Structure 1
């Protein structure tokens, strides 16, 4: 993809050219102010000058993960080639939506993102009509966010696709239960207190073009190490994990994809280029079946944490699995 190290300004409510280049447009959506001031979310859409005709009844909204933003152009091209209207959202305080006065990525309750998702879906339905069939796709923390949202909004979407969703704390539910009181206590008195940053930069090394990967991206929006994890935010995530562990009963069909293996180590290894070095994929697979009554779990050999950033043959397998699942469940 092209280097998107410069930004293009956006005007609230107006589609403008996006940093990703030809075919991509961005629209800033104003949200209610919070304790830090002005808040916005940014919707990105893919509308190439020529190509496959869209079927207005079909749309997909993509939600990124922690310390991240939307830059996966191949994902947009995949869906557009199948006649699906593709949208992605940079949630408040991330990527295109991050403002200088804000604590990057910070919320203290994941239900806060209801406003972001509702605003994005409102624009999609305005453009495609109220009866458009919409799917949600979430990566990592975004996968947790959309799962919780879908559980609270039965009948709102036609399906969900989860790319390595963060459904449980590394180490198991037992570790979460043991950690929760300490995190909650710190979050009560110092919610924005940064916790020790344990990101060694190995994941960025596997995907960055300068370090042997294929991808270029704006390092202000996807920094190495990642944005500081803060106590109030971690408490919100752990609360989400607890809800997943209890069972969410999502009424739409769910596809959960993750790498076939995890490799988390304090030392670098070239094998990290073909494994998830962020989350425990075995835990993800076990938690996924608690999302709802119809869940498909697919393991992708040699996949990295964001499967769309894996090596070309692995990406091809990932996209083939999307096609196979949507042929059965998509927009039914």
Structure 2
């Protein structure tokens, strides 16, 4: 695994396959701040592979995963997808999320998505890559879900040449119903200046969590800590929402991600105003047509994969859609790897 010097890795909550490392960050006005890096421990290479001298497809690849809003890393199978192909897999619980949330902190709260540059730099350094990702000859794949996809897209654009590939799972690249962004942005900006910790009314009815439970596969179980991933989304504060809208505006103006980008999306959006079986076969969080259009502004090489029946997190969908998502990811990764 990565050379982290005196770093102290301890067993992770996900079990024997995983370890975690606390990354101290600069304090803020709520006190000490940390991020948490999780690493997957790959199975040893079989003797037949060693005898043949064959190298796994992704033997020189590091993957860094960043979760979405009101979320944390818990997807064991996603990690195994990468480690089974020889990659080193790391996941980052950002400050004030999941493993990194401390008493007295406002969950998930930042006022600028560039704040996460410190979290990402600390993670890259702990992975043995140096804080700017330049200290390793290994390829770097960024893998982000939802808000994590927005965060990593902005980071990759600000740090050209640092990532070798960017893979986005339903990235939050545009506000729900894009036309509304311009209308609400001035009001949110004013509120963020005057009362940044004001919280918006809770409008999440919990249907997205219910849809995941409805399609859960007993042969591919997911154990979720409801303290870190509640049934209804965490409170949305004005300062945080202003940061998100600023990120959306930057994407709309066009990014300059030099690495090839793969975007995985559901084939359709369904409005979660009342429960129906349709919500188990669609993205109920993002308007996927708007996201597909926004994705084309990320850089010069973007592939958009639309997956029939997928949920917002395509890897938590019903069996057929989930398997389709993994097949498409495998196909894209093989193509990317063979091209390089």
TM-score by length of 1: 0.92
Deviations 1:90-141 (A, max 9, x none): 0000000000121000000000000011111111135996111111000000
Q: Which of the numbers 7, 28, 32 marks the counterpart of 2:22?
A: 28
Deviation at 1:275, TM superposition (A): 0.6
Deviation at 1:48, TM superposition (A): 4.0
- Matching of residues 220-259 of structure 1 within 5 Å: 220-259=227-266
- For the 8 Å contact 1:58–1:84, the answer to whether it is kept is yes
Q: Which moved more, 1:13-22 or 1:108-117?
A: 13-22
Q: Does 1:135 align with 2:141?
A: yes
Q: Aligned with 2:265: secondary structure?
A: strand
Q: Which of the numbers 174, 182, 198 marks the counterpart of 1:168?
A: 174
**Residues matched between the structures, number:** 318
Could you tell me how far apart the structure 1 residues matched to 2:33 and 2:59 are? 30
Could you tell me how far apart the structure 2 residues matched to 1:146 and 1:130 are? 19
Deviation at 1:35, TM superposition (A): 0.9
Gaps of 5+ in 2: 1-5, 47-54
- Matching of residues 206-285 of structure 1 within 5 Å: 206-208=211-213, 213-214=216-217, 215-285=222-292
Q: Which of the numbers 8, 13, 18 marks the counterpart of 1:14?
A: 8
Q: Indicate the residue corresponding to 1:80 in structure 2.
A: 83
- For the 8 Å contact 1:22–1:48, the answer to whether it is kept is no
Deviation at 1:23, TM superposition (A): 1.1
- For the 8 Å contact 1:205–1:213, the answer to whether it is kept is no
Q: Does 1:46 align with 2:40?
A: yes
Deviation at 1:49, TM superposition (A): 5.0
Q: Aligned with 2:156: secondary structure?
A: helix
Deviations 1:263-283 (A, max 9, x none): 013110111111101110000
- For the 8 Å contact 2:175–2:181, the answer to whether it is kept is yes
TM-score by length of 2: 0.90
Q: CA RMSD in A?
A: 1.8
Could you tell me how far apart the structure 1 residues matched to 2:183 and 2:319 are? 40
Q: Does 1:107 align with 2:110?
A: yes
Could you tell me how far apart the structure 2 residues matched to 1:49 and 1:28 are? 24
- For the 8 Å contact 2:43–2:84, the answer to whether it is kept is no
Q: Does 1:308 align with 2:311?
A: no
Q: Which of the numbers 190, 195, 200 marks the counterpart of 1:190?
A: 195
- For the 8 Å contact 1:51–1:81, the answer to whether it is kept is no
Could you tell me how far apart the structure 1 residues matched to 2:201 and 2:289 are? 25
Q: Which moved more, 1:297-306 or 1:128-137?
A: 128-137
Q: Which of the numbers 202, 209, 229 marks the counterpart of 1:204?
A: 209
